[in-house]
């Protein structure tokens, strides 16, 4: 099974942001980092998740376990609901993408287990400056 770790980060809240994705596939580790415009940390988390979903779909990975240290993203996907209207379009896009997988899992993990994605998200902020 493919494992995709993702994280979003902001330098300020809101501030310059970045998305980091680390994918374990076929014994290899793939790293991706994308600068994002100024936004909140929670928005960056959603953008990182959407990017991870899109990358996996582009690569043809259809059975994927996604890992996040974001309670907000994890709960929003689980309940298919978010209170804040700012996040609603991001949630809807993510849910649409999740339906394209044969098997989709999302698991909350502690931050210490998400260090690769966190480091990539912070690199992305620096790239964008």
**Residue range 15-63, pLDDT digits in tens:** 999 999 999 998 899 999 999 999 999 999 999 999 999 999 999 999 9
Q: How far apart are CA 52 and CA 48, in angstroms?
A: 6
- For residue 99, give the CATH number of its domain: 3.30.420.10
- Residue 38's alpha-carbon distances to 14, 16, 35, 93, in angstroms, are 6, 4, 10, 20
Domain of 108 in residue numbering reads as 2-128
User: Quick check: pTM over 0.95?
Assistant: yes
Sorting pLDDT into bands at 50, 70 and 90, what band is 96?
very high
Structurally, how many domains does the chain consist of?
Answer: 1
């Amino acid at each position: 099974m493919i494992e995709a770790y993702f994280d979003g980060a902001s330098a300020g809240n809101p501030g310059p942001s970045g998305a980091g994705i680390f994918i374990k596939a076929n014994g290899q580790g793939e790293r991706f980092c994308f600068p994002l415009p100024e936004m909140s940390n929670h928005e960056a988390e959603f953008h990182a998740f959407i990017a991870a979903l899109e990358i996996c779909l582009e690569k043809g990975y259809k059975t994927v376990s996604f890992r996040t240290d974001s309670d907000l993203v994890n709960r929003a996907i689980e309940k298919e609901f978010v209170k804040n209207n700012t996040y609603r379009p991001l949630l809807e896009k993510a849910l649409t993408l999740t339906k394209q997988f044969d098997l989709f899992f999302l698991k909350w993990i502690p931050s210490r287990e998400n260090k690769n994605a966190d480091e990539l998200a912070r690199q992305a902020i620096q790239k964008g400056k």
